[in-house]
Structure 1
Amino acid sequence: MFTGIVEELGEVTAVENLGDASRFRLRGPVVTDGARHGDSIAVNGVCLTVVDHEGDEFTADVMAETLKRSSLGALTTGSRVNLERPTAVGARLGGHIVQGHVDGTGEILERTPSEHWEIVKISLPAGLARYVVEKGSITVDGISLTVVDAGSDHFTVSLIPTTLALTTLGVKQPGDPVNLEVDVIAKYVERLLTAGPADGSGQEAGR
């Protein structure tokens, strides 16, 4: 589990095409400190498994399904990426519960700068709109953010200088894709409200 608090802005140092998958080599001195084979690291909000680790770089294999359903397929050598290690049990939950399972991709539509922050408008796939609410949480490229405005096909977020300086959202421009993960609690609530009784008897299980 992650919290959406990006630990560092890393860099893709190599991309190898494996046919039905790709192997990425990424640089990130912070997240590679103590990293081992099999560990998880979120890359732009996608939970990936460390295949190899040497110095301040690690490699991760990304299957075709992940490349298709996320923006990772658009990464090339030199691309900057948001990196985060899983949260430790008992640690502070600085953002919100993030699984690292991308629900879909959006696109940067507009950037409106202000004196001390910037409003970013992002497109929202129709199937995800019902999970996004004003002042709710959403993960954009692995960043835990608060929704300012929620529409039927878009939402906006307000970015403080720290977020602009230390994450990919500081450099992404209109037309660039971003990974989206909605609040998992909203999905579970919807499932519970639409599902029938657990035992099929019309009564709650265990009663």
Structure 2
Amino acid sequence: MFTGIIQASGRISRLQRRGNAMRITLQTPQEFTGMKVGESLAVNGICLTATNLADGEFTADVMPETYEKTTLGKLDVGAVVNLERALPVTGRFDGHLVTGHVDGTGRVTANHRVENAQIVTISLPPQLRNQLVTKGAITVDGASLTVIEARPTQFSIGLIPETQARTTLANVRVGQLVNLEIDLVFRYLAHLGRNQQNEINQY
């Protein structure tokens, strides 16, 4: 489990692609020293399991499901990514519940400044439409953010200076794809509501 509070950035140092799967190696910051093989790390919001840790690098295997449904397969060596270690049971909870299981990708359609804020508008893939609410939570490339405005096919987020400085989102370009994870509580409530409606329709 994660919180969507980005702790650091990392840089991709090696990629080994095998069809629609790959092995990815990242250069990680010194504060991540002490991680163990088998631990989880959110990379641009994608939960990856460490298969090797050596000399300040983190290596993980990416299976076809992750490769095809996230932006990982589109990244190249040298790309900078957002990183967050898994939340320990005794850890401080600052963001919102994030699983690291990306629901889909959205495309940046606008990016502009309003005073000290950076306003980014992102399109929603069909399967995620009508699953956001204004002032609700959304995870974008691993960062926990508040939805400024939710529309049927797109939504807007605002980046405060701290988020601009700490994450890669300040540099997103119009047309770029980003990873999206819907708020976990909303997801389960929506699923429960659909099940109840199906039961009602049976009578």
1:66-117 Cα shifts (integer Å, max 9, x gaps): 1110011111000010000011113221100000000000011111112211
Counterpart contact for 1:110–1:174, Cα < 8 Å? yes
User: Is contact 2:100-2:181 (8 Å) kept?
Assistant: yes
**Gap runs ≥5 in structure 2:** 197-203
Please name the residue that 2:199 is paired with.
Answer: none
1:130 to partner: Cα distance:
1.9
Q: Does residue 1:77 correspond to 2:116, yes or no? A: no
Give unpaired runs (5+ residues) of structure 1.
197-207
How do 1:11-160 residues align onto structure 2 when only pairs under 5 Å count?
11-30=11-30, 32-160=32-160
- Which has the higher Rg, Structure 1 or Structure 2? 1
Query: How has the CA–CA distance of structure 1 residues 40 and 31 changed in structure 2, closer, same or farther, with 3 Å as cutoff?
Result: farther
Taking the aligned partners of 1:125 and 1:73, their CA distance within structure 2 comes to: 18
User: Which residue of structure 2 lines up, in the alignment, with residue 3 of structure 1?
Assistant: 3
Equivalent residues of 1:105, 1:180 under 8 A apart: yes
Q: Note if contact 2:41-2:85 (Cα within 8 Å) is conserved in structure 1.
A: yes
Q: What amino acid is the match of 2:43?
A: V
Preserved CA contact (<8 Å) 1:31 1:83: no
Q: Which residue of 1 aligns with 2:194?
A: 194
- Where 1:195 maps in the other structure, the secondary structure is helix
Following TM superposition, by how much is the alpha carbon of 1:56 offset from its aligned partner in structure 2, in angstroms?
1.3
Deviates more, 1:24-33 or 1:94-103: 24-33
CA contact (8 A) 1:32 1:53 kept: no
Runs of 4+ with deviation above 4 angstroms: none
Q: Which amino acid aligns with 2:68?
A: K
SS of the equivalent of 2:34 reads coil
Whole-angstrom CA distance in 1 between matches of 2:189 and 2:76: 38
Question: What is the CA RMSD across the aligned residues, in angstroms?
Answer: 1.4
Residue 30 (structure 1) shift: 4.4
Q: Percent identity?
A: 45
Report SS of the residue matched to 2:50.
strand
Quote the Cα distance in structure 2 between the aligned partners of 1:2 and 1:81.
Answer: 16
Give the whole-Å Cα distance in 1 for the aligned partners of 2:77 and 2:70. 17
Q: What TM-score, normalized by structure 1, do the two folds share?
A: 0.91
- Give the Cα–Cα distance (whole angstroms) in 2 for the partners of residues 120 and 19 of structure 1: 33
Q: Partner of 2:200 in structure 1?
A: none
Q: CA deviation at 1:31?
A: 5.9
The aligned amino acid for 1:151 is R
Distance (whole Å) between structure 2 residues aligned to residue 38 and residue 44 of structure 1:
18
